[in-house]
Amino acid sequence: MTTQTLSAPAATDGHASLQRARPAGHPAPAPAPLPAAPPSERLAWASGVAAGACTLGLTALFLGYFLPRMPPFGAPPAAIAAAYAAFGRDLVYRLASYLIQAQLPLFLVFFAGLRGALRRAEGPGGVLAPAVFGAGVALAVASPLVAMVEDHLLLGTAGAGVDPRVVVAFDGLVPRAFALDGFAQALVIGGTAAVLGRGDGARRVLPRWLAAAGWVVAALSLVGTGMLLDARLLAVSHPAMLLSRLWLLALALVLLRRTGRVA
C-alpha cells in the first residue's frame, strides 16, 4: 500500500487532476478564447494605413520633385544655400514638411492599437508589448520634431543670407534622425514579428513572409544606426527607414483585414 501511494503521480494542479479523471476517448477541451479586439482598433489600423500613405507620398515628392532640384553631391556651400533659400519659398516643400509632421498623431494612434494586440497575443506580464509601444512613441515623435527644427534653422539661415557654411552645417539633421530611429525601428518591428509571427493556423496573426521580412528590416535598421558614426552608412539608414515604414503599412493592412481575429 505504501509503495503504491509513493509511486502514484501527485496532482500538481486542477488541470492535471481533470486529465486523469477524463474517461478514455474524450477529447481535451479547447483552450479558452482570448479577448476579442475592441472595435476601436479598426481606427488604429486605419491610422497606420494613413501614415503609410504619407510615407509613399513623401517618397514620390522627393524622387519626382525635390531630387531634380537639389544641387549635385559635392556642390559648393553657396549652391546648397541657394537651393534651400529657393525651397523656403516653395509651397510644395512646405507641404512635404507638413506631411512629415502630420504622421505624428497617426503613428501614435496606430502604436496604441498595436500595444493592445501585442498584449493579447503575448499574455499577462509580457515585456515586449510595452517595449514596442515605448519605441513606437519615440519613432512617431523623433523625426517630425527634428524635421521641424531643421526646416526652421536650415530654411531660415538660407533665406537670411547667412554664411553658406552655417547652412550646410544644419543640413543633415533629418538623415541623422533617421539613423537614430533605427534603434526604435528594430525594437518595434522585431518585437512585433516575434509576438504576432509565432504560432500556427488561426492563432498566427502575421503571414510568414511578413514576419521574415520584419527580421530583415530590423537588422538593416540596426546597421543603419552606424550612420551616426560614419556618414557613408546613409546608404543603409535611409532605405532602412523607408522599408520600415512600408513594413508598418503592410502590418496595418494585415491587422485591418483580420480585425476580430487578432490573437
When the pLDDT of each residue in the chain is averaged and rounded to a whole number, the result is 84
Within its chain, how far is the Cα of 244 from the centroid?
6
Domain ranges of the chain: 39-257
Percent of residues, the chain, with pLDDT higher than 70 = 83
Q: Are 248 and 260 in contact (CB under 8 A)?
A: no
Q: Each residue of 34-55: b (16+ CB within 10 Å) or e?
A: eeebeeebeebbbbbbbbbebb
Q: Say yes or no to pLDDT of 236 above 50.
A: yes
Higher pLDDT, residue 144 or 189: 189
Whole-angstrom CA distances from 220 to 69, 94, 208 are 29, 30, 19
Q: Say yes or no to pLDDT of 39 above 90.
A: no
pLDDT in tens, 104-146: 999 999 999 999 999 999 888 889 999 999 999 999 999 899 8
Residue 254 has a pLDDT of 93
Residue 201 has a pLDDT of 59
- Provide the pLDDT confidence category of residue 202 given band limits of 50, 70 and 90: low
Q: Say yes or no to pLDDT of 215 above 80.
A: yes
Higher pLDDT, residue 218 or 170: 218
Higher pLDDT, residue 134 or 258: 134
Residue 26 has a pLDDT of 53
- Establish how many alpha carbons lie within 13 A of residue 51's alpha carbon, considering only the half-sphere containing its beta carbon: 32
Highest mean pLDDT among 16-25, 80-89, 211-220: 211-220
Q: Say yes or no to pLDDT of 263 above 80.
A: no
Average pLDDT over residues 162-178: 88
Average pLDDT over residues 220-238: 94
Task: Extract the C-alpha cell encoding 233.
Answer: 552608412
Residue 237 has a pLDDT of 94
Residue 65 has a pLDDT of 92
